[in-house]
Structure 1
Amino acid sequence: MKNVAFQACLLLMVLSAAAQQKPHYTQYILNQYIINPALTGIENYTDIKVSHRHQWAGLDGAPVTTYFTIQGPIGKQDYRTTATSFEVPGENPRGHRYWEDYTAAQPHHGIGLQVIQDATGPLSNFSAYGTYAYHVGLSPRTSIAAGFGAGISRYSLKSYELDFGNTTVDPAVYSAGIVNKTKFDMNAGLYLYSADFFLGISALQIVPSKLNFSDSKITAQTGQTVPHLFFTGGYRFLLNDQFNLLPSVMVKYINPLPLQVETNVKLQYNDLLWVGASYRYKDSFGAMMGFNIFNKFNVGYSYDNTTTALGTYARGTHEIVLGIILGNKYADGCPRNIW
């Protein structure tokens, strides 16, 4: 009975035009590119990320999100020539001297690809976007980037999963098989960044589309995809030559829902490992940790515990992010511009 009730709630979320239609990312700070195409090509190397998120583990039909991203620069040149351009034995490669010598990005382009699979109960959404961005320096230490993405979103409804046994549901609903709808989609963003701070604004799903699963068999109220606005900001505090403290915030706006606020803080040791915490207002709090391997691989893991009534039944939310760095000629461990 518990699973039936939960699936019924998920169905209401699916049919609601006002429900959030894009997934949560606890470790957005590790891959801001997933929510803002302006970060395409921001670093000196090609950045690959693979992530898997299992929300509300232990509940049938709970949200599961998996993504793959790859993005890198075109024509970017980095003219670092100081002693801190490369790691000096016994010295933190991301210590005070490194950030004192930080310079704005040279004008360059970036291209990338995002592939996202998001499933909640009987509804799933497969999205794929090609992205482009252009970066230019505004001052000796501050840069700005503008980017956009274009692609498709394919929504699938496994209508046969809407059969809740003794619960009254029209058989015509759950006998329609798998119903698919493919829609054109776009996203866009701006990103202002420096050695000490970043500010971003982006809009996902900016081409509203009517969405229904009637397929001449199901008669239900027509829904609609809605734009999702993201505002992000963060600041870097150099505590000493070994530790950086990196607080950040993300505000989401999805009409007609109220603003959603998420805070995030990382404590980074040298160029090697970090720990952190996050809080999503009136929803959850979490712990995070990660490390870098030979300046070519990085791993991040987070665990969220919901503060809502679902916490009675769920066993928390797990999210893992795996990164691969290609063409890392400056041997960067942690990103220079994405924190």
Structure 2
Amino acid sequence: MLKRTLFFTGVILCMGIFAYAQQKPQYTQYIFNNYLLNPAVAGIENYTDVKLGYRSQWTGLQGAPTTAYFTVNAPLGSDFTRGDAASFPSGGDSPYSRLYTSEYRAAEPHHGIGFSLITDKAGPIDQTNIMATYAYHLGITEKLNLAVGVSAGANHLHLNTSELTFENPDDPVLRNLENNKWKPDAAIGIWAYSSNYFFGISAQQILPQNQYISTNNGQNLSKTVPHYFATAGYKFYLSDDVSFLPSALIKFIQPAPTTFDINAKLSFRDRFWFGGSYRKDDSFGILAGFNLNSLINVSYSYDATTSALRTVSNGSHEIVIGLMLNNIYKLTSPQHGW
């Protein structure tokens, strides 16, 4: 009985990380890839947007979370991809200029598709998420676009028992371990955007699934929970070529308390930017990035931990590399995104 109790204690401690905190990865640079949180963003630009990201959280802490992802999304519809009124040929108006704002018009109705692959590891727990996305974008006023999107796929959650120490590796409890299965996953979202503001709401992990292990009476010790996000931002023009973009992300994940991120981004035309971030009761961060050319952009962030983990953590690092494929207008920065 003692052996079984020790096993349950270890498993519950591991699952407690997820039961009372965010089960999905968190991102400091959500503003650079809103598609990670909201499927309605798929196809927002008139090129194929590819992102590769890596996050090392709480470095210096053994078993700290690490996240890697690959996302790609693209529009469908020639009226948009080859005739978007808000896209200018190379050498035209920068999306960071006031002139761009005055001439902005809502995008032509079009479809968007996307794909994401995300891997996340925290201690003995690792998960892999694969999703495909469909979105539809529609101009509802002369300058306001509305998009709705849905993602569907599968999630694989795994508890690596080889990283845990058991008094009896052949404990019968291990036979009930549901520990290497793919389970369905889904997300939905709405995204409204114009030339200088955006707001959106989304829900991820909307198909709750049992995790790991069940007791003899059929009860499960842990379940996935839906994640709800609300995002908004507004771009202020400090001059013709310099803009300031504050944004906020609010996260609702029961039974954890509601939390939020606040970011601020100062951009210089379409070449480089820097900024800062704050995550409630967790960290302060600095961000910087540049658009190398019409193909490649890079961004980096560092979070200084402010929670109790600051005594053992050296902070968090996140880097994102973006590719703008099929970029027929040779844009060096997003036109409809941020």
**TM-score over 0.5 for the pair:** yes
Is 1:200 aligned with 2:209? no
Q: In structure 2, do the counterparts of structure 1 residues 155 and 94 end up closer, same or farther at CA, with 3 Å as the change threshold?
A: same
**Counterpart of 1:12?**
13
Q: In structure 2, do the counterparts of structure 1 residues 220 and 208 end up closer, same or farther at CA, with 3 Å as the change threshold?
A: closer
SS across alignment from 1:85: coil
Distance 2:253 2:49 in 1: 29
Is 1:64 aligned with 2:30? no
Q: In structure 2, do the counterparts of structure 1 residues 92 and 144 end up closer, same or farther at CA, with 3 Å as the change threshold?
A: closer
**Counterpart of 2:269?**
270
SS across alignment from 2:180: strand
Instruction: Give the counterpart letter for 1:187 in structure 2.
Output: A
Q: What pairs up with 1:154-303 in 2 under 5 angstroms?
A: 154-163=156-165, 171-172=169-170, 179-213=179-213, 222-303=221-302
- Long gaps (5+) in structure 2: 1-8
Q: What pairs up with 1:139-158 in 2 under 5 angstroms?
A: 139-158=141-160
Q: What pairs up with 1:98-117 in 2 under 5 angstroms?
A: 98-117=100-119
Q: Percent identity, please.
A: 43
4+ runs deviating over 6 angstroms? 8-11, 173-178
Distance 1:68 1:273 in 2: 23
- The CA deviation at 1:85 is 2.2
Distance 1:181 1:92 in 2: 48
**Counterpart of 2:337?**
338
Distance 2:65 2:132 in 1: 25
- The CA deviation at 1:284 is 0.4
Instruction: Give the counterpart letter for 2:306 in structure 1.
Output: T
**Counterpart of 1:3?**
none
State the number of aligned residues.
324
Distance 1:81 1:44 in 2: 11
**Counterpart of 1:5?**
none
Q: In structure 2, do the counterparts of structure 1 residues 224 and 80 end up closer, same or farther at CA, with 3 Å as the change threshold?
A: closer
SS across alignment from 2:40: helix
Instruction: Give the counterpart letter for 2:334 in structure 1.
Output: P
Residue by residue, what CA displacement relative to the aligned partner does 1:287-322 show, whole Å, maximum 9, x if unpaired? 000001111100010000110111111111000000
Contact between 1:13 and 1:19, CA under 8 Å: does it hold in 2?
Answer: no
Is 1:85 aligned with 2:78? no
Indicate the RMSD between aligned Cα atoms, in angstroms.
Answer: 2.6
Contact between 1:180 and 1:213, CA under 8 Å: does it hold in 2?
Answer: no
Distance 2:85 2:180 in 1: 54
**Counterpart of 1:123?**
125
Residue by residue, what CA displacement relative to the aligned partner does 1:34-70 show, whole Å, maximum 9, x if unpaired? 1100001010000000000000111111000000000
Q: TM-score, normalization: structure 1?
A: 0.89
SS across alignment from 1:289: strand
Q: In structure 2, do the counterparts of structure 1 residues 255 and 169 end up closer, same or farther at CA, with 3 Å as the change threshold?
A: farther
Q: TM-score, normalization: structure 2?
A: 0.89
Distance 1:56 1:254 in 2: 21
- Long gaps (5+) in structure 1: 1-7
Contact between 1:230 and 1:252, CA under 8 Å: does it hold in 2?
Answer: yes
Q: In structure 2, do the counterparts of structure 1 residues 206 and 36 end up closer, same or farther at CA, with 3 Å as the change threshold?
A: same
